[in-house]
Chain A
């Protein structure tokens, strides 16, 4: 499912047209193309921009005039952010949810990253019976929608495993912030098929001579994995890490089901969806709140866009 070789950002063929007329036409062409593409790009950004401007305006202004009037009557305040982040009670307390988002996201990225790279290495460079079948099985799991797993997995956490009336595994019985563990578990499970697929693509393309040389020198598999494979696949690890980070940080469904709704565990997305439902017209909170939730993925994305794009191009179907 890989597409063509990723060469994003590299200037395309700079072949000179032969005739003078052709050169003029090409320049015109590229000028219109530039203009149109910039206009579209600006249009694309206007909704986000409007939200950002609004989040900085006083409550009264937001609710009575459009954000575009800001430019004729600029009034800037940080009160919305102050209120939405730190005021307690039903109006915000997003700082607390922000911490939840962090606490959910970090382990949910690390666990699948480690487990999947181990598995991908085994599937690419170890010889054992049924290797191809195991890989095909994991690969195929990518298409199972996570909706298929939600109800039983929740029961697994809340009531444990019982076979023929005998309790084999107890319920997890987690309270408050301990419920993070459930979310980590769920996110890790759901991420693995795609992670194994992506990393296997990468690891299996490492030069075989390298592995063979290491084996001849007497290196064991864990040693090869740690000292040769891991350093070489850092770009792939980064690509999947960013992908998974954005996925988990932005996820609503998994958090809604496994984290519960309180400020002990629920991430920003859950809180925002709740605010949008119950206080849909409190725009001073919604705009500031939405921006709080956007800012971290935006920073990650803008600073690491190259890796993310590479991951997308190597990737395919996310479960």
Chain B
């Protein structure tokens, strides 16, 4: 039971190096941009003075040029990091997906054929599809209903905070919370809430996470539990932004709450609704932590992101892992195109 604090010191030292590097890079950049141009400016001033004394030549067009140089340095860290960390790797991953596991020989489309023919991978693709359909639908639906409900309620802020709270919890933490809800004991009292409810209703306790296909849906519950708060907050803000006079006019016309919802609320919050669905779809496509923590992808619960991790980093199958990553990217594209079209329509409308 001894915790050795001294052993932790190198970490703090490393953290300090990191912070020093931060100050040096950012401060250095700003200083450089501050000092160098003012030196130039002083020289130019001197030139100008000389020029005006000498009989006034036209002002040189140097301002725009200098602005370009400035912009280059402002953008340099971002562009450099994006190139090293995202652009080049993404291109390389695409190339790797056409190569074998050790990335030495070209194999054409073999990795993609493997993806669609291997039974376990087809299962992975189906699971991902179930996730992507259910999570945005249920989370947005719940978020919308709750946003409408809470709009009229008292203690609104508290209620919203409680729904929103899971957003702060890590997926790993949330998975442990829910594993505890699903926990199973063979004999004696149950310690998991779900089995306790089942037993008190006269049922038999079950090992919920081992039962395919039910377990996939139970994992989806975790994701919905986390993301519903996000949907609720965005939609609630959209509902509050509906102009009061529209609502008032409808009310004076004697519109029922039901009609009010479908004819006033829904059309007004459509853009927000699209944003929520798109964001949730993309987040769901990439879901990794929940599946890994709750079942580690066993018992038919695997999804693309976990399988990609397994292939590339556990089995060293770089080609197959890369193919899965590329497929994930391909799946995101239609969602984004839909979003862009929507935005454009909105701007025109």
Contact = CB atoms under 8 A, between A and B. Distances in A.
Interface of A: 1, 3-10, 12-13, 15, 17-18, 29-30, 33-34, 36-38, 40-42, 44-48, 50-51, 54, 62-69, 82-83, 85-88, 93, 95-96, 99-100, 102-103, 106-107, 110-111, 114-116, 118-119, 121-123, 126-129, 131, 134, 138, 141, 143-153, 156, 176-178, 180-181, 184-186, 188-190, 192-193, 196, 220-223, 225-226, 246, 249-253, 256-257, 264, 269, 272-273, 276-277, 280, 283, 286-287, 289-290, 293-294, 297-298, 300-302, 305, 309, 312-313, 316-318
Contacts of B293: 252, 272-273, 276-277
Given A103-B14, A143-B329, A192-B81, 13 more contacts: A29-B257, A47-B193, A88-B4, A118-B74, A128-B71, A145-B285, A148-B90, A148-B328, A222-B34, A252-B170, A280-B179, A287-B176, A294-B169
A50 B12 contact: no
B341 interface: no
A62 B15 contact: no
A250 B193 contact: no
Nearest to A297: B168
Given A86-B3, A128-B68, A111 B22 contact: yes
Interface stretch (B48-56, B114-122, B123-131, B240-248): B240-248
B19 A33 contact: no
A83 B153 CA distance: 43
Given A37-B149, A185-B85, A290-B177, A152 B78 contact: no
Given A30-B152, A184-B18, A286-B180, A273 B84 contact: no
A180 B275 CA distance: 34
Interface string B218-234: 00000001000010011
A83 B234 CA distance: 41
Contact of A119 (B34, B75, B153): B75
A229 to B, nearest CB: 11
Q: Is the interface of A mostly helix, strand, loop or mixed?
A: helix
B77 interface: yes
B215 interface: no
Contacts of B149: 33, 36-37, 40
A180 B234 contact: no
Contacts of A29: 152, 257
B234 A145 contact: no
A110 B244 contact: no
Contacts of B283: 318
B78 A119 contact: yes
B71 A122 contact: yes
B162 interface: yes
A234 to B, nearest CB: 16
A126 B166 contact: no
A287 B78 CA distance: 40
B282 interface: yes
B22 A114 contact: yes
Contacts of A256: 309, 313
Contacts of B173: 250, 269, 272, 290, 293-294
B166 A48 contact: yes
B155 A66 contact: no
B154 A30 contact: yes
Q: Which 8 A-B pairs have the closest CB atoms?
A: A189-B85, A250-B170, A122-B74, A4-B241, A301-B168, A152-B89, A149-B89, A119-B78
21 contacts: A3-B237, A8-B236, A8-B237, A15-B248, A33-B151, A41-B159, A48-B169, A66-B190, A106-B18, A144-B86, A144-B90, A144-B329, A148-B329, A150-B312, A156-B89, A190-B86, A249-B170, A252-B170, A305-B161, A312-B233, A316-B275
B328 A10 contact: no
Interface string B197-211: 000000000000000
B311 to A, nearest CB: 10
A52 to B, nearest CB: 9
Interface of B: 1-4, 7-8, 10-15, 18-19, 22, 25-26, 29-30, 33-34, 37-38, 41, 64, 67-68, 70-72, 74-75, 77-79, 81-82, 84-90, 92-94, 96, 146, 149-159, 161-173, 175-181, 183, 188-193, 196, 225, 230, 233-234, 236-238, 240-241, 244, 247-248, 251-252, 257, 269, 271-272, 275, 278-279, 282-283, 285-286, 288-289, 292-294, 296, 305, 308-309, 312-313, 318, 321-322, 324-326, 328-329, 332-333, 336, 339, 343
A50 B96 CA distance: 46
A313 B225 contact: no
A269 B172 contact: yes
A148 B93 contact: yes
A51 B180 contact: yes
Given A149-B90, A252-B289, A290-B173, A38 B325 contact: no
A29 B161 CA distance: 22
Contacts of A143: 282, 329, 332-333, 336
B338 to A, nearest CB: 12
